[in-house]
């Protein structure tokens, strides 16, 4: 029973990471992803809503990115989010989350 549980957990971790873009890659070579649809995973930090603008920081503990999103997950929550990698003069690079 324990082997089955451990095997299931390992598969969940492995398949949960497939198809996601590492935050390290986005920080180190942000222009390579410009305009592309990507999926990232991490922990939510620093949620903010100012009028119609809202978003949060997503971190893996070492690297972090900004996410623009209408919905604000709870700080400290582990999430996976998909969106388009964007850049503007005010906020720099950020992920425009699909809603």
Asked whether the whole model's pTM tops 0.85, one would answer: no
HSE-up (13 A, CA, CB side) for residue 73 = 19
| Tokens at 71, concatenated | 């919905």
Provide the H-helix boundaries in the chain: 2-17, 23-28
Q: Per residue in 20-58, pLDDT tens?
A: 999 999 999 999 999 999 999 999 999 999 988 899 999
Q: Per residue in 37-46, pLDDT tens?
A: 999 999 999 9
Domain boundaries, the chain: 21-97
Fold classified for 21-97 = OB fold (Dihydrolipoamide Acetyltransferase, E2P) (2.40.50)
Rg (Cα) of the chain, in Å, rounded? 15
CA atoms of 59 and 24, how far apart (whole Å): 10
77 in Cβ contact with 41 (< 8 Å): no
């Amino acid at each position: 029973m324990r082997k089955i549980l451990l095997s299931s957990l390992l598969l969940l971790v492995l398949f949960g990471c497939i198809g996601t873009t590492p935050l390290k890659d986005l920080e180190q070579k942000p222009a390579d992803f410009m305009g592309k649809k990507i999926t990232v995973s991490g922990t939510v930090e620093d949620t903010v809503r100012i009028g119609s603008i809202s978003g949060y920081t997503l971190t893996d503990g070492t690297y972090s990115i900004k996410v623009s999103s209408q919905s604000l997950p709870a700080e400290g929550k582990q999430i996976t989010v998909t969106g388009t990698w964007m850049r503007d003069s005010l906020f720099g690079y950020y992920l425009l989350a699909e809603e």
